[in-house]
A = this chain, B = another copy of it.
Amino acid sequence: MARDTRERILDTALTQFATRGVEAVAVTDLEDGAGLKAGSGSFYRHFRSKEDVLAAVVDREVERAEQRRQARPAGDLAEEYAQALAALDALRPLVAMLVRDGARLPHLDRVRAVLAEGGVQLDAGRLQERMDAGEVPARDAVAVAAVVQMALVGHHLAERFFGGLGVDRDRFVAALADLVGR
């Protein structure tokens, strides 16, 4: 019991909301997961309601993501895409909550913004620069950026919802970089 109870409730709420959905998780489950007696109501010494703890979970996760945010590296396309997939991994619980309980989440705009910055929305402007510099073949940069974004997000979601792809991550990223770069 190193961390205090409020933090333990937030931890168990994050994992349970992300894996089972908000509706399926009872306050008694959160008490149990935090080491409190289920049904004791001790939860309510720390949060006013289930909606309240949901908002706090989303807030904390968005703030953590904003702190992790950093300048994009200057590597090649494959490195850039691999890094975007890694960023999506770190956002996994937030993605899961958005997908399962999107309409119910507080601060939906902030959630979408942090997901976009964190790896979902690759910069079309940067791709255009690469095309202008002759690093990659010239195409419709905005549309290609969208295709790349969707491929990365799709890959992330496929691992979760479709049981994987049969193509490992390195091979996927290499093929994507090859398509854009050659």
Contact = CB atoms under 8 A, between A and B. Distances in A.
A101 B162 CA distance: 13
A102 B157 CA distance: 12
Given A99-B161, A112-B163, A157-B157, A175 B143 contact: yes
Contacts of A152: 150, 154
Contact of A140 (B137, B149, B162, B178): B178
A64 B149 CA distance: 32
Contact of A153 (B158, B174, B176): B158
Nearest to A20: B103
Interface string A91-113: 00000001111100000000010
Interface stretch (A6-14, A32-40, A67-75, A165-173): A165-173
- Size category of the A interface is 35 or more
A149 B158 CA distance: 10
Contacts of A101: 21
What is the total number of copies of this protein in its complex?
2
A165 B139 contact: no
A104 to B, nearest CB: 9
Nearest to A143: B175
22 contacts: A21-B100, A21-B101, A23-B23, A23-B24, A98-B161, A112-B163, A115-B162, A140-B171, A140-B175, A143-B175, A146-B155, A146-B166, A146-B172, A147-B176, A149-B165, A150-B150, A150-B153, A150-B158, A151-B154, A153-B154, A153-B158, A154-B157
Given A99-B157, A115-B162, A143-B172, 19 more contacts: A21-B21, A23-B23, A23-B24, A98-B161, A100-B100, A112-B162, A112-B163, A137-B182, A140-B171, A140-B174, A143-B167, A143-B174, A146-B155, A147-B172, A149-B154, A149-B165, A150-B172, A151-B154, A154-B154
